Copies of this chain bind each other. A is one copy, B any other.
Amino acid sequence: MASSSTRTVRLAVIPGDGIGPEVVAEGLKVLDAVAPAHGLVFDRTTYDLGAARWHRTGETLPDSVLEELRGQDVILLGAVGDPSVPSGVLERGLLLRLRFELDHYVNLRPVKLFPGVKTPLADVTPDDIDMVVVREGTEGPYTGVGGVLRKGTPQEVATQESVNTAYGVERVIRYAFEQAAARPRKKLTLVHKDNVLTFAGDLYQRTLKRVATEYPQVTTDYCHVDAATMFFVNNPQRFDVIVTDNLFGDIITDIGAAIAGGIGLAASGNVNPDRTAPSMFEPVHGSAPDIAGQAKADPTATILSVAMLLNHIGATEAARAVEQAVSADLAERGTAVRATHEVGDAIAKRVVG
Protein backbone atom coordinates (compact mmCIF):
# COMPACT_ATOMS: atom_id res chain seq x y z
CA MET A 1 0.00 0.00 0.00
CA ALA A 2 2.47 2.63 -1.22
CA SER A 3 1.57 6.22 -0.58
CA SER A 4 2.95 9.21 -2.44
CA SER A 5 2.66 11.82 0.32
CA THR A 6 4.66 11.33 3.49
CA ARG A 7 3.92 12.34 7.04
CA THR A 8 6.63 13.07 9.58
CA VAL A 9 6.04 11.94 13.15
CA ARG A 10 8.26 13.11 15.99
CA LEU A 11 9.07 9.98 17.98
CA ALA A 12 10.78 10.06 21.36
CA VAL A 13 12.54 6.83 22.27
CA ILE A 14 13.36 5.98 25.88
CA PRO A 15 15.15 2.62 25.84
CA GLY A 16 15.68 2.67 29.62
CA ASP A 17 17.22 -0.12 31.65
CA GLY A 18 17.93 -3.84 31.50
CA ILE A 19 16.35 -5.47 28.48
CA GLY A 20 14.72 -2.13 27.54
CA PRO A 21 17.28 -1.16 24.89
CA GLU A 22 17.26 -4.67 23.36
CA VAL A 23 13.51 -4.87 22.91
CA VAL A 24 13.21 -1.25 21.79
CA ALA A 25 15.76 -1.91 19.03
CA GLU A 26 13.49 -4.61 17.66
CA GLY A 27 10.42 -2.42 17.98
CA LEU A 28 12.16 0.26 15.95
CA LYS A 29 13.32 -2.32 13.42
CA VAL A 30 9.70 -3.26 12.78
CA LEU A 31 8.63 0.38 12.74
CA ASP A 32 11.29 1.14 10.14
CA ALA A 33 10.14 -1.83 8.10
CA VAL A 34 6.48 -0.82 8.10
CA ALA A 35 6.80 2.95 7.81
CA PRO A 36 7.73 3.55 4.12
CA ALA A 37 4.81 1.67 2.61
CA HIS A 38 2.44 3.76 4.72
CA GLY A 39 3.99 7.12 3.96
CA LEU A 40 5.37 7.52 7.46
CA VAL A 41 8.68 9.08 8.42
CA PHE A 42 9.73 8.93 12.05
CA ASP A 43 11.88 11.78 13.25
CA ARG A 44 13.49 10.03 16.17
CA THR A 45 15.11 11.41 19.30
CA THR A 46 16.57 9.01 21.82
CA TYR A 47 16.52 10.02 25.47
CA ASP A 48 19.07 8.69 27.85
CA LEU A 49 16.98 8.19 30.98
CA GLY A 50 17.12 5.44 33.55
CA ALA A 51 19.59 3.86 35.94
CA ALA A 52 22.79 4.88 34.13
CA ARG A 53 21.83 8.54 34.08
CA TRP A 54 20.74 8.47 37.69
CA HIS A 55 24.09 7.00 38.73
CA ARG A 56 25.96 9.57 36.65
CA THR A 57 23.98 12.69 37.50
CA GLY A 58 21.41 11.87 40.16
CA GLU A 59 18.68 12.86 37.70
CA THR A 60 15.60 10.76 36.95
CA LEU A 61 13.65 13.12 34.69
CA PRO A 62 15.06 16.64 34.46
CA ASP A 63 12.43 19.33 33.84
CA SER A 64 14.17 20.33 30.60
CA VAL A 65 13.86 16.79 29.24
CA LEU A 66 10.22 16.64 30.26
CA GLU A 67 9.62 19.87 28.33
CA GLU A 68 11.35 18.45 25.26
CA LEU A 69 9.23 15.32 25.50
CA ARG A 70 6.09 17.44 25.53
CA GLY A 71 7.06 18.67 22.08
CA GLN A 72 7.14 15.16 20.61
CA ASP A 73 4.19 13.43 18.97
CA VAL A 74 4.56 10.08 20.65
CA ILE A 75 6.91 8.12 22.91
CA LEU A 76 8.22 4.55 22.81
CA LEU A 77 9.58 3.29 26.13
CA GLY A 78 11.44 0.06 26.88
CA ALA A 79 11.63 -0.56 30.60
CA VAL A 80 12.73 1.25 33.72
CA GLY A 81 14.32 -0.05 36.92
CA ASP A 82 17.56 -1.60 38.11
CA PRO A 83 18.59 -3.36 41.32
CA SER A 84 21.46 -0.87 41.75
CA VAL A 85 18.92 1.92 42.25
CA PRO A 86 16.72 1.97 45.35
CA SER A 87 13.26 0.59 44.57
CA GLY A 88 10.87 3.33 43.57
CA VAL A 89 13.41 5.98 42.59
CA LEU A 90 13.15 5.35 38.85
CA GLU A 91 9.61 4.03 38.95
CA ARG A 92 8.26 7.07 40.75
CA GLY A 93 10.80 9.60 39.47
CA LEU A 94 10.75 8.64 35.82
CA LEU A 95 8.02 6.22 34.67
CA LEU A 96 5.18 7.38 36.90
CA ARG A 97 6.27 10.99 36.59
CA LEU A 98 5.92 10.70 32.81
CA ARG A 99 2.48 9.11 33.14
CA PHE A 100 1.30 11.79 35.53
CA GLU A 101 2.92 14.84 33.90
CA LEU A 102 1.79 13.85 30.41
CA ASP A 103 -1.69 13.10 31.77
CA HIS A 104 -1.79 9.50 30.58
CA TYR A 105 -5.09 8.92 32.23
CA VAL A 106 -5.76 5.77 30.24
CA ASN A 107 -3.42 2.85 30.58
CA LEU A 108 -4.68 0.63 27.80
CA ARG A 109 -3.83 -3.04 28.06
CA PRO A 110 -5.27 -5.61 25.68
CA VAL A 111 -5.36 -9.18 26.96
CA LYS A 112 -5.62 -11.44 23.95
CA LEU A 113 -4.55 -15.01 23.35
CA PHE A 114 -3.12 -15.29 19.85
CA PRO A 115 -3.59 -18.57 17.98
CA GLY A 116 -0.60 -20.85 18.45
CA VAL A 117 0.43 -19.31 21.76
CA LYS A 118 0.72 -21.62 24.74
CA THR A 119 -1.32 -20.55 27.76
CA PRO A 120 -0.80 -22.02 31.24
CA LEU A 121 -4.56 -22.59 31.43
CA ALA A 122 -6.01 -25.93 30.48
CA ASP A 123 -9.08 -25.98 28.25
CA VAL A 124 -8.98 -22.45 26.84
CA THR A 125 -8.82 -21.38 23.22
CA PRO A 126 -7.99 -17.98 21.70
CA ASP A 127 -11.74 -17.24 21.54
CA ASP A 128 -11.88 -17.41 25.33
CA ILE A 129 -9.32 -14.70 26.02
CA ASP A 130 -9.95 -11.44 24.25
CA MET A 131 -10.41 -8.43 26.46
CA VAL A 132 -9.17 -4.90 26.93
CA VAL A 133 -8.29 -3.51 30.32
CA VAL A 134 -8.71 0.24 30.68
CA ARG A 135 -6.59 1.03 33.71
CA GLU A 136 -6.77 4.51 35.22
CA GLY A 137 -3.32 6.06 35.02
CA THR A 138 -3.14 9.27 36.99
CA GLU A 139 -4.87 8.72 40.33
CA GLY A 140 -5.67 6.07 42.91
CA PRO A 141 -2.94 4.64 45.12
CA TYR A 142 -0.31 5.76 42.58
CA THR A 143 -0.42 9.45 43.51
CA GLY A 144 2.52 9.19 45.87
CA VAL A 145 0.47 10.92 48.54
CA GLY A 146 1.37 9.58 51.95
CA GLY A 147 4.37 9.57 54.20
CA VAL A 148 6.19 8.17 57.12
CA LEU A 149 6.27 9.26 60.74
CA ARG A 150 8.86 8.19 63.34
CA LYS A 151 10.73 6.20 60.71
CA GLY A 152 12.82 3.37 62.05
CA THR A 153 11.25 3.42 65.49
CA PRO A 154 8.78 0.97 67.01
CA GLN A 155 6.23 3.77 66.66
CA GLU A 156 6.66 4.18 62.92
CA VAL A 157 3.53 4.89 60.87
CA ALA A 158 3.63 4.70 57.06
CA THR A 159 0.67 5.79 54.98
CA GLN A 160 -0.30 5.67 51.33
CA GLU A 161 -3.31 7.50 50.09
CA SER A 162 -5.52 6.61 47.19
CA VAL A 163 -6.89 9.84 45.73
CA ASN A 164 -9.81 9.59 43.31
CA THR A 165 -11.65 12.49 41.73
CA ALA A 166 -14.92 12.76 39.83
CA TYR A 167 -12.91 14.40 37.07
CA GLY A 168 -10.41 11.57 36.86
CA VAL A 169 -12.87 8.72 37.27
CA GLU A 170 -15.38 10.07 34.77
CA ARG A 171 -12.89 10.56 31.97
CA VAL A 172 -11.46 7.05 32.21
CA ILE A 173 -14.94 5.51 32.46
CA ARG A 174 -16.04 7.46 29.38
CA TYR A 175 -13.04 6.16 27.49
CA ALA A 176 -13.90 2.60 28.55
CA PHE A 177 -17.48 3.00 27.34
CA GLU A 178 -16.15 4.14 23.96
CA GLN A 179 -13.97 1.06 23.78
CA ALA A 180 -16.83 -1.23 24.74
CA ALA A 181 -19.22 0.39 22.27
CA ALA A 182 -16.73 -0.26 19.46
CA ARG A 183 -16.41 -3.99 20.20
CA PRO A 184 -18.78 -6.76 19.17
CA ARG A 185 -19.77 -7.84 22.69
CA LYS A 186 -20.25 -4.28 24.00
CA LYS A 187 -19.76 -5.29 27.60
CA LEU A 188 -18.08 -3.19 30.26
CA THR A 189 -17.12 -4.52 33.69
CA LEU A 190 -16.07 -2.28 36.55
CA VAL A 191 -13.44 -4.00 38.69
CA HIS A 192 -12.96 -2.53 42.15
CA LYS A 193 -13.31 -3.42 45.80
CA ASP A 194 -16.30 -1.29 46.71
CA ASN A 195 -17.24 -3.36 49.75
CA VAL A 196 -14.00 -2.38 51.48
CA LEU A 197 -12.78 0.78 49.72
CA THR A 198 -16.24 2.27 50.07
CA PHE A 199 -15.48 5.92 49.26
CA ALA A 200 -13.51 5.30 46.08
CA GLY A 201 -15.63 2.33 45.05
CA ASP A 202 -18.81 4.33 45.44
CA LEU A 203 -17.43 7.13 43.27
CA TYR A 204 -16.59 4.60 40.54
CA GLN A 205 -20.00 2.93 40.84
CA ARG A 206 -22.01 6.14 40.71
CA THR A 207 -19.99 7.44 37.78
CA LEU A 208 -20.41 4.18 35.88
CA LYS A 209 -24.18 4.29 36.35
CA ARG A 210 -24.42 7.92 35.28
CA VAL A 211 -22.29 7.58 32.16
CA ALA A 212 -24.03 4.29 31.27
CA THR A 213 -27.22 6.19 30.43
CA GLU A 214 -25.36 7.70 27.47
CA TYR A 215 -24.39 4.24 26.17
CA PRO A 216 -27.58 2.18 26.18
CA GLN A 217 -26.01 -0.30 23.75
CA VAL A 218 -23.31 -1.23 26.30
CA THR A 219 -24.15 -3.68 29.09
CA THR A 220 -22.33 -3.09 32.35
CA ASP A 221 -21.60 -5.12 35.40
CA TYR A 222 -19.36 -5.12 38.44
CA CYS A 223 -16.79 -7.53 39.83
CA HIS A 224 -14.69 -7.32 42.98
CA VAL A 225 -10.97 -7.34 42.17
CA ASP A 226 -10.36 -10.52 44.14
CA ALA A 227 -13.09 -12.37 42.29
CA ALA A 228 -11.86 -10.89 39.00
CA THR A 229 -8.46 -12.49 39.42
CA MET A 230 -10.18 -15.79 39.92
CA PHE A 231 -12.27 -15.35 36.78
CA PHE A 232 -9.13 -14.55 34.79
CA VAL A 233 -7.99 -18.05 35.64
CA ASN A 234 -11.19 -20.06 35.46
CA ASN A 235 -13.58 -18.01 33.32
CA PRO A 236 -11.75 -15.38 31.24
CA GLN A 237 -14.63 -15.41 28.73
CA ARG A 238 -16.50 -13.39 31.33
CA PHE A 239 -14.68 -10.21 30.34
CA ASP A 240 -14.83 -7.94 27.31
CA VAL A 241 -13.77 -4.45 28.42
CA ILE A 242 -12.72 -3.81 32.01
CA VAL A 243 -12.36 -0.41 33.64
CA THR A 244 -10.48 -0.28 36.90
CA ASP A 245 -8.29 1.82 39.12
CA ASN A 246 -4.56 2.26 38.79
CA LEU A 247 -3.45 -0.40 41.28
CA PHE A 248 -6.07 -3.02 40.49
CA GLY A 249 -5.27 -2.50 36.82
CA ASP A 250 -1.60 -3.07 37.48
CA ILE A 251 -2.33 -6.37 39.18
CA ILE A 252 -4.97 -7.83 36.90
CA THR A 253 -3.06 -7.03 33.72
CA ASP A 254 -0.15 -9.12 34.96
CA ILE A 255 -2.49 -12.07 35.40
CA GLY A 256 -3.86 -11.14 32.01
CA ALA A 257 -0.35 -11.35 30.57
CA ALA A 258 0.18 -14.71 32.26
CA ILE A 259 -2.96 -16.31 30.85
CA ALA A 260 -2.39 -14.85 27.38
CA GLY A 261 0.98 -16.48 26.96
CA GLY A 262 3.30 -14.54 29.20
CA ILE A 263 4.74 -11.15 29.85
CA GLY A 264 6.81 -11.38 26.68
CA LEU A 265 3.68 -10.68 24.67
CA ALA A 266 1.83 -8.03 26.70
CA ALA A 267 1.66 -4.56 25.14
CA SER A 268 0.38 -1.33 26.61
CA GLY A 269 -0.30 2.28 25.87
CA ASN A 270 -0.17 5.15 28.32
CA VAL A 271 -2.70 7.24 26.51
CA ASN A 272 -3.64 10.88 26.75
CA PRO A 273 -6.89 10.69 24.78
CA ASP A 274 -7.27 14.49 24.71
CA ARG A 275 -3.87 14.73 23.01
CA THR A 276 -2.73 17.58 25.23
CA ALA A 277 0.62 15.77 25.49
CA PRO A 278 2.26 12.81 23.75
CA SER A 279 1.08 9.31 24.62
CA MET A 280 3.64 6.65 25.51
CA PHE A 281 3.73 3.01 24.47
CA GLU A 282 5.63 0.33 26.35
CA PRO A 283 5.68 -3.39 26.97
CA VAL A 284 4.02 -4.38 30.26
CA HIS A 285 7.15 -6.25 31.35
CA GLY A 286 9.91 -4.69 33.41
CA SER A 287 13.64 -4.34 32.83
CA ALA A 288 14.39 -7.99 33.73
CA PRO A 289 18.01 -7.30 34.73
CA ASP A 290 18.64 -11.03 35.20
CA ILE A 291 18.45 -11.65 31.45
CA ALA A 292 19.65 -8.27 30.19
CA GLY A 293 22.34 -8.29 27.50
CA GLN A 294 21.84 -11.96 26.70
CA ALA A 295 19.54 -11.61 23.68
CA LYS A 296 17.00 -13.69 25.56
CA ALA A 297 14.21 -11.14 25.92
CA ASP A 298 11.14 -11.53 23.76
CA PRO A 299 10.63 -8.24 21.88
CA THR A 300 7.10 -9.18 20.82
CA ALA A 301 5.46 -7.10 23.58
CA THR A 302 7.37 -4.04 22.37
CA ILE A 303 6.48 -4.75 18.76
CA LEU A 304 2.81 -5.02 19.70
CA SER A 305 3.21 -1.75 21.60
CA VAL A 306 4.53 -0.26 18.36
CA ALA A 307 1.31 -1.41 16.69
CA MET A 308 -0.67 0.38 19.41
CA LEU A 309 1.47 3.46 18.84
CA LEU A 310 0.68 3.34 15.12
CA ASN A 311 -3.01 3.08 15.89
CA HIS A 312 -2.79 6.04 18.19
CA ILE A 313 -1.25 8.27 15.53
CA GLY A 314 -3.97 7.23 13.11
CA ALA A 315 -1.82 4.89 11.02
CA THR A 316 -4.34 2.11 11.37
CA GLU A 317 -3.26 0.18 8.28
CA ALA A 318 0.34 0.15 9.38
CA ALA A 319 -0.83 -0.96 12.83
CA ARG A 320 -2.78 -3.79 11.30
CA ALA A 321 0.21 -4.85 9.21
CA VAL A 322 2.36 -5.11 12.36
CA GLU A 323 -0.33 -7.00 14.27
CA GLN A 324 -0.77 -9.43 11.42
CA ALA A 325 2.96 -9.99 11.15
CA VAL A 326 3.13 -10.71 14.89
CA SER A 327 0.11 -12.97 14.72
CA ALA A 328 1.62 -14.94 11.84
CA ASP A 329 4.95 -15.20 13.63
CA LEU A 330 3.27 -16.42 16.82
CA ALA A 331 1.24 -18.99 14.94
CA GLU A 332 4.42 -20.51 13.53
CA ARG A 333 6.73 -19.85 16.44
CA GLY A 334 6.53 -23.29 18.03
CA THR A 335 8.99 -24.10 20.75
CA ALA A 336 12.26 -23.13 19.03
CA VAL A 337 14.17 -20.59 21.09
CA ARG A 338 15.18 -17.53 19.10
CA ALA A 339 17.37 -14.61 20.04
CA THR A 340 15.78 -11.21 20.59
CA HIS A 341 16.98 -9.88 17.23
CA GLU A 342 15.86 -13.02 15.42
CA VAL A 343 12.29 -12.45 16.54
CA GLY A 344 12.55 -8.82 15.41
CA ASP A 345 14.03 -9.85 12.08
CA ALA A 346 11.32 -12.41 11.45
CA ILE A 347 8.49 -9.99 12.20
CA ALA A 348 10.11 -7.13 10.27
CA LYS A 349 10.45 -9.41 7.27
CA ARG A 350 6.80 -10.35 7.41
CA VAL A 351 5.79 -6.71 7.72
CA VAL A 352 7.39 -5.74 4.44
CA GLY A 353 5.64 -8.72 2.93
Q: How far is the CA of A152 from the CA of B234 in the complex (A)?
A: 37
Chain B hits for A201, CB < 8 A = 87-88
Contacts A160-B200, A194-B87, A202-B148 known; A251 to B225 CB distance under 8 Å? yes
Within 8 A of B (CB), among A117-136: 119-123
Q: Does A353 sit within 8 A of B, measured CB to CB?
A: no
Q: Does A162 sit within 8 A of B, measured CB to CB?
A: yes
Task: Decide: B193 and A247 in contact? CB cutoff 8 A.
Answer: yes
Contacts A88-B198, A120-B234, A141-B197 known; A158 to B203 CB distance under 8 Å? yes
Chain B hits for A258, CB < 8 A = 229-230, 233-234
Contacts A158-B202, A163-B157, A200-B159 known; A195 to B120 CB distance under 8 Å? no
Within 8 A of B (CB), among A278-324: none
Task: Decide: B229 and A196 in contact? CB cutoff 8 A.
Answer: no
Q: Does A254 sit within 8 A of B, measured CB to CB?
A: yes
Which A positions have Cβ atoms within 8 angstroms of B?
81, 87-88, 91-92, 96, 119-123, 141-142, 144, 146-148, 150, 152-167, 170, 193-203, 205-206, 225-227, 229-230, 232-234, 247, 250-255, 257-259, 262-263
Offer 26 A-B interface pairs, CB within 8 angstroms, sorted by A.
A88-B194, A91-B196, A92-B196, A120-B122, A121-B122, A121-B233, A141-B160, A141-B196, A146-B197, A146-B199, A147-B199, A148-B203, A150-B166, A154-B170, A156-B166, A157-B166, A158-B200, A159-B164, A160-B162, A161-B161, A161-B162, A227-B254, A229-B252, A230-B254, A233-B258, A251-B251
